[in-house]
Structure 1
Amino acid sequence: MKQVSREEIFNEVNSEVLFSDWFEVKQEQINQFADCTIDHQYIHIDPVKAAETPFGTTIAHGFLTLSMLSYLAEEFSTLIDGFYMGMNYGFDKVRFISPVKVGSKIRGAAKLIDVIEKKPGMFQLKTEVTVEIEGSDKPALQAEWITIQFVK
Structure 2
Amino acid sequence: MKVFQGIEELSRAVGTHLGYSDWHTVTQKQIDTFAEATGDHQWIHVDPAKAARGPFGGTVAHGYLTLSLVPVLVWQVYEVEGLAMGINYGADKLRFPSPVPVDSRVRAGVELLSLVPGGGGHQARTKVTIEREGGDKPVCVVEAVSILVP
Shorter-chain TM-score: what band?
A: over 0.9
1:16-46 Cα distance to aligned partner (Å, 9 max, x none): 2410000000000000000000000010000
Any gaps of 5 or more consecutive residues in structure 1?
none
How many Å apart are 1:15 and its aligned residue? 2.1
Report the counterpart of residue 29 of structure 1 in structure 2: 30
How many Å apart are 1:107 and its aligned residue? 0.3
Report the counterpart of residue 44 of structure 1 in structure 2: 45
How many Å apart are 1:58 and its aligned residue? 0.1
Instruction: Show the 5 A alignment for 1:81-120.
Output: 81-118=81-118
Counterpart AA for 2:41: H
How many Å apart are 1:78 and its aligned residue? 4.2
2:73 aligned with 1:72, yes or no? yes
Name segments (4+ residues, structure 1) moved above 6 Å. none
Any gaps of 5 or more consecutive residues in structure 2?
none
How many Å apart are 1:2 and its aligned residue? 2.0
| Structure 2 residue matching 1:140: 3-state secondary structure | strand
Aligned length in residues: 149
How many Å apart are 1:6 and its aligned residue? 2.5
2:147 aligned with 1:142, yes or no? no
Report the counterpart of residue 63 of structure 2 in structure 1: 62
Counterpart AA for 2:25: E
Report the counterpart of residue 132 of structure 1 in structure 2: 131
TM-score calculated relative to the size of structure 1: 0.93
Percentage of identical aligned residues:
45
Report the counterpart of residue 16 of structure 1 in structure 2: 17
TM-score calculated relative to the size of structure 2: 0.94
